[in-house]
Amino acid sequence: MAAPRKRVYTVPTMIWNPEHECMNPEALRTLQFARLKNLVERVYANVPFYRAKFDAIGVTPADVRSLDDIANLPFTSTYPYGLLAVPQSEIVEIHMSSGTTGTPVVDAYTKRDMDDWAEGMARTISGAGGTRNDTVQNAYGYGLFTGGLGSHYGAQKIGATIIPVSSGNTQKQLMLMRDFKTTIVTCTPSYALYLAEQAKEMGIDPMSLGLKAGCFGAEPWSENMRKQIEKAWGIKAYDIYGLTEITGPGVAFECDGQYGMHVNEDLWYPEIIDPETGRPLPDGEKGELVITTITKEGTPLIRYRTRDVTFIIPERCGCGRTTRRIHRLFGRTDDLLIIRGVNVFPSQIEHALIEIQGVDPNYLIIVDRSAQTHLDEAELHVEVNPSAFSDETKDMESLRNKIEGVMKSKLGINMKVKLVEPKSIERSTGKAKRVIDKRQL
C-alpha cells in the first residue's frame, strides 16, 4: 500500500483558513450537519422560545437527520429578547443595532463566538489581500455597531497593524493614511468616496496615499460605485456582508475574483427562500437570504430571515475556496432605509413624530445621494398640525429645529426638515408611500 501523501495546499496564502475555506464540499456538508444537530439540541434544551416553536409544529431535535431537514425547522423572523442559550456568566461582549426590522437587536457573544467573529473577519480581510504586513485603517464606527470592532478583531487576528480611528474626522483620516502608510481601509462605501473627494479638496491626490484595497459594506452599493472608488483611490474595492443578528461583518466577503461574496458556511449556514411562500429555492434563484448560526453559543439563530435579497452563485469560484458565494445584494424585502450606514425604518420616523406637539405623523422622506460628496442626504417633509400652523417665521423655524433635533437624537441621522401645510402630502387608500429613494444604487 502506498504511503499516505503529505497534504499540500496549492492555494495562495491569502486564503486565511484553507482547511475550512477550501474544504471538500461533501466534508463541509458533514461538518455543517454535525454543527446543525448540535445547535438544535442546544437551543431545544436551553431556549424556551425555540422549544415552544419546535413543539408547536411537532419537531424535535431527533427529527433532524440530514442537512436538508433544516427546511423542516421554523423560521425566526423577528429577533426576540431572551434568546440567551448559555448562562449570562458565559457572555463576554454584547452588540446592538437599531435592527433591520425596526426593533433593536441585541447580540450576545461567548468567548467562542468572539473567536468565530474574528475568524470571519480575518478571512474577509485576507480575501482583500490583507496580511500581517498591512496597515488597516478602520473607519467603521466603534461601539455598539458591529462594523468597527468586528473589523478590529479580524485585523488583529491576521496580525496586521490596526489604526482604530473609527468613523468621521475626515481630515485626520487622511493625515493618518499619509503618516502611517495605510494599505487597507475599512469603511462604508459612501464614506470611501467622500474621503477621496475631501482629499482632492485638500489638494491631496488619493492615489498618492498608496492604499491597495478596501473592505466596504454595511449599506447598499453598486458596481458603478465600486468603479468610482477603485478609480479615485487606485485600489481594489471589496464588498463585505454581515448583520448584527448574525454576529456582524464577516458573514460573507469577496475574494480577488470580485464576483459574489463567499459565505463562511462552516459557521453561518445560508439558504435562499421564496419570501412569499417560505419555500427553499435552489442555487441560482433569487430570493431572501436565510441564515442559521450553526456554531453560535450566546444568541443562536435558527433560519433567521435577513430580508436581504440575493442568490447563491451555482458555480464554484476559481480562487480555490469551495465555500458558496452570494451575489451582491439586490435590495431588501422590506422598506428598511440605510442612510449613511444607519438603519432607519419609516415607522421609526413616525413614532418619533407622534411625540412632537404641533405636527401630524404625515410625512414623506426623500433620500438622495449627493453628486458632490457621494453621501446620502435625507429630507423629511412633515405636515404641520392646523392648530400649530403660524405665519410667524420664528415659530415655524423653532418647530423645524426641534424635529431635526429629535431625528438626530432618536434615529441618529441628520435630516433636513421641511414643514409643509396641513393635508398637502398625498394620501393613499392602501399602503402609504412614505419614502422616495432617488439614489441610483
Distance CA 307, CA 275 (A): 8
What's the min distance (Å) between Cβ of 148 and ligand DLL?
A: 8
Q: Using CB under 6 A, which of the segments 63-71, 83-91, 176-184, 238-246 binds ligand DLL?
A: 238-246
Q: Using CB under 6 A, which of the segments 164-172, 217-225, 358-366, 426-434 binds ligand DLL?
A: 217-225
What's the min distance (Å) between Cβ of 46 and ligand DLL?
A: 24
Q: Is 125 in the site for ligand DLL (CB under 6 A)?
A: no
**Cβ neighbours for 82, distance < 8 A, ≥ 6 positions apart:** 47, 48, 49
CA gyration radius, the chain: 23
182 contacts 162 by C-beta, under 8 angstroms: no
Q: Judged by CB under 6 A, which of 21, 119, 197, 219 binds ligand DLL?
A: 219
Residues 410-435: b if buried by 16+ CB within 10 A, e if exposed: ebebebebebeeeeebeeeeeeeebb
Q: Is 327 in the site for ligand DLL (CB under 6 A)?
A: no
Distance CA 369, CA 441 (A): 9
Q: Is 270 in the site for ligand DLL (CB under 6 A)?
A: no
- How many angstroms separate the Cα of 371 from the Cα of each of 197, 333, 381? 11, 27, 22
**Cβ neighbours for 63, distance < 8 A, ≥ 6 positions apart:** 69, 72
Q: Please, which of residues 370-399 interact with ligand DLL by CB under 6 A?
A: none
What's the min distance (Å) between Cβ of 16 and ligand DLL?
A: 17
What's the min distance (Å) between Cβ of 152 and ligand DLL?
A: 11
Q: Is 21 in the site for ligand DLL (CB under 6 A)?
A: no
User: Nearer to ligand DLL by C-beta: 195 or 399?
Assistant: 195
User: Nearer to ligand DLL by C-beta: 180 or 330?
Assistant: 330
Q: Is 218 in the site for ligand DLL (CB under 6 A)?
A: yes
Which cell goes with 247?
454576529
Q: Is 246 in the site for ligand DLL (CB under 6 A)?
A: no
Binding track, positions 146-185, relative to ligand DLL; x by CB under 6 A: xx--------------------------------------
Which cell goes with 111?
468567548
Q: Is 87 helix (H, G, I), strand (E, B) or coil?
A: coil
Q: Judged by CB under 6 A, which of 67, 240, 339, 367 binds ligand DLL?
A: 240
- State the sign of the Cα–Cα–Cα–Cα dihedral 342, 247, 312, 140: positive
Please report, as ranges, the residues that interact with ligand DLL according to CB under 6 A.
97, 100, 140, 146-147, 217-220, 239-244, 248-249, 306, 308, 329, 332, 338, 343
